[in-house]
Amino acid sequence: MKQEKLQPKYMKVTGEGRRLNPSCEIITEIPIIKSVVEEAVARFYRYEDRDRGEEYKKVIFRRGFDIETIDCIKSIFGDVYVENEEGYFIDSTGDEITVRSESERGLFYGAQSIAVMLEGTGNIVPAMTAYEYPTVPERGVKCYIPGMDHISFFKQFIDMMCRYKHNTLLLEIGGAMEYKKYPEINVEWVKFCDDIREYSGKSRIIQEATYSWRKDSMHVENGDGGYISQDVVRELVRYCKERYINVIPEVLCLSHCDYICRAFPEIAERSNDPYPDTYCPSHPKSYRILFDILDEIIDVFDPTVVHIGHDEFYTYGKCPRCKGKDPVDIFADDVNKIYDYLHAKGLKTMLWADKFLNSSYYEPMHDKIMPSGGAEKGPSPAWENENIMCEGMGATYKSIDKVPRDLKMFHWYWSDEEYEKEFLNRNMPTTYGNYNATQHKNYKQRMKAGMLGGLCSNWSTLSEVIMAWNGVIFDTAFNGTVFWDPDYDYDVRDETLQSVASDLYNWKNMYALHGERTGNYIRVKHTTTLDMPYSLMHDGVFLDRNEYLIGFYIVTCDNGREAKIPVHYGESISGINESFFNETTGNLMNDGNIESSVNKLKGVCYQAMPVTKDGKTRYDAILKIPDHVRGFNITDVRFEQTVQNCEVMVESIEIL
């Protein structure tokens, strides 16, 4: 199934094209570009097809758009040419394929497009002329450092980011990377994570139902509750940079500093907090430690930009050194100290922008408007325990006029477009954080106002199951699709949702769908009347897949062997009434996210393809057969339901 949305935006096909065989000469001095094309050609190459049809002799990658190329673009597609270093042009109308771009990154994206064209086509690239460019310069994902068990998937996910032509990875460090000067940080980080990860939801009790002060989220999923060596992190950074992904280390500063305060409790702002999360910005030792941490991270990442956190800053003016100080000055002075340190090293500074905003949100439980971000907050009950009255917090939003204008704002309160004007009106470079284009209304106008792009976020472990469940895989694909489409706006969201879902399904299952049939997979079309609520798995809440297990496909072989393939609600199946066209709006939060069918289907779309007809949705899923029965002749596949009070309807089963 070919997906137009992932093909170049402007593309004119003039013929059937030719085959790309391994013998085709790929002319480029850039190894990763050559590798992308060679691996794509080899993926589905069959030796017996080598003489079928004509083949391309060369694939040539050239830097620069000459006048002839620009004129060609204009003559075929109209006045669409834009000077953009990441844009690329492909011409395959002769016996050679030529890819042009002003930059190596653009050539790399051209190679990615060729690789996608080969999927399911018998390695045929059509005779065509194509051109596209990104509409925003910053496109990517924010996530935690992977634990060692998920390094392989991390690289697979980076390859997926390349497929959708993202160029930025924001990687939160915290205590999840080895520190050579302060190994006690890693020791205390592991103890802290072991404590908070004792059971799912313990973090919420500590943060929201125990103390008379607000607390930061604890991020104990970072590094899977452990840490990895600097050498491993260097390799991850190298892997990204080789693929033209700019890696920005996020060094948590001021807030979310459990990893520092646990190792150095003497600098904690609140001495009576058994889980301190904020260092004292008036303690001279705080910056000695912090700058040493920054130096180690800068050495490992060799970045051009460092993200310094600063979101959800709740504890200030509590210690004897800080008491009585204006919260505006406390916040601005800390930002400026770190900015100056990085600026002296030639580095740009990025930070979460919420504390610069005099913002609010609607709280439906109590039917009232609540202050948020950098607004002044009076005393109010703990979020999960109304018997505890939490102390108020002074406003910090006026600090926006006490910091440098070239600070890069990472703006996650994007549900209200008025907030971003605070930054744009001051000419502060601004990128959306926690970004989810599926919920972004008035998209085109807001982007054209000066936004630099957006990064979606995964606030949990960097595993395949969780990244899919939390919708991060889907958002990565969706955001990447719209970032390369100058015509996209919210009014075409529904068709884009379907296109992205279909493309993800084809990408995830390309070997099962387009490779030789080996009996290693089953393809099922099923649905269920079960309706389970959707919850993100993050901030110390962990997925128990057994809670979502609804049954098994039982595979029987001719030698009597059997195997069970589990079916989990929210992974390969969801409810019959869920649909991309049936969004139910719930509580709209500052970051734009709402409870909806769309959010429920995002996690399913990685393993299955939702197909809605006559208001009912079925799920086309491809499931891998367990290793211990692979290679045997399968005689029967049946479904065995394990949950009550619902119906699971299986329409078809096919062995691939």
The domain that holds 39 is classified in CATH as 3.30.379.10
Total domains in the fold of the chain: 3
Residue 468 pLDDT > 50: yes
Lowest-pLDDT range, 40-54, 64-78, 530-544?
40-54
The domain that holds 320 is classified in CATH as 3.20.20.80
Residues 290 and 414 both lie in one domain:
yes
Residue 630 pLDDT > 80: yes
Residues 90 and 213 both lie in one domain:
no
Structure tokens at 140: 């990517």
pLDDT band for 515, please (50, 70, 90 cuts). confident
Residues 67 and 192 both lie in one domain:
no
Confirm whether 34 is domain-assigned. yes
Residues 627 and 532 both lie in one domain:
yes
Asked whether 571 and 532 are in contact (CB, 8 A), the reply is: no
In angstroms, how far is CA 2 from the centroid of its own chain? 24
Task: Tell me the average pLDDT across 256-281.
Answer: 97
Residues 121 and 255 both lie in one domain:
no
Q: What is the tens place of the pLDDT at every residue in 407-438?
A: 999 999 999 999 999 999 999 999 999 999 99
What are the distances in angstroms from CA 360 to CA 208, 372, 373, 437?
A: 19, 5, 7, 22
In angstroms, how far is CA 104 from the centroid of its own chain? 24
Lowest-pLDDT range, 82-86, 540-544, 580-584?
580-584
Q: What is the tens place of the pLDDT at every residue in 323-347?
A: 999 999 999 999 999 999 999 999 9
Residue 591 pLDDT > 50: no
Residues 170 and 214 both lie in one domain:
yes
CA–CA distance, 548 with 527 (Å, rounded to integer): 14
Residues 23 and 42 both lie in one domain:
yes
Confirm whether 501 is domain-assigned. no
Report the residue count for the chain.
656
In angstroms, how far is CA 167 from the centroid of its own chain? 12
The DSSP H or E segment spanning 284 is: helix 284-301
In this structure, what are the phi and psi dihedrals at residue 598, rounded to the nearest 5 degrees?
-60, -45
Residue 3 pLDDT > 80: no
Residues 123 and 195 both lie in one domain:
no
Contacts 24+ apart (CB under 8 A), 370-378: 372/413, 372/590, 373/397, 373/413, 373/590, 374/331, 374/398, 374/399
Residue 390 pLDDT > 50: yes
Confirm whether 564 is domain-assigned. yes
Residues 183 and 300 both lie in one domain:
yes
Residue 599 pLDDT > 90: no
Confirm whether 502 is domain-assigned. no
For residue 1, the model assigns a pLDDT of 35
| β-bridge pairing 10-19 and 96-101 | unpaired
Confirm whether 613 is domain-assigned. yes
For residue 588, the model assigns a pLDDT of 47
Confirm whether 227 is domain-assigned. yes
Residues 124 and 145 both lie in one domain:
no
Of 427, 454, 488, which closes a domain? 488
Per the structure, the complete domain to which residue 114 belongs is given by: 4-132
Task: Tell me the average pLDDT across 19-36.
Answer: 96
Beta carbons within 10 angstroms of residue 156's beta carbon: 11
Among 601, 602, 599, which residue's Cα sits nearest to residue 588?
A: 599
What are the distances in angstroms from CA 340 to CA 44, 252, 265, 347, 651?
A: 53, 17, 26, 10, 63
Residues 107 and 35 both lie in one domain:
yes
Amino acid at site 259: Y
Confirm whether 109 is domain-assigned. yes
Of 98, 115, 132, which closes a domain? 132
Confirm whether 36 is domain-assigned. yes
Residue 541 pLDDT > 80: yes
Residues 571 and 452 both lie in one domain:
no
In angstroms, how far is CA 90 from the centroid of its own chain? 28
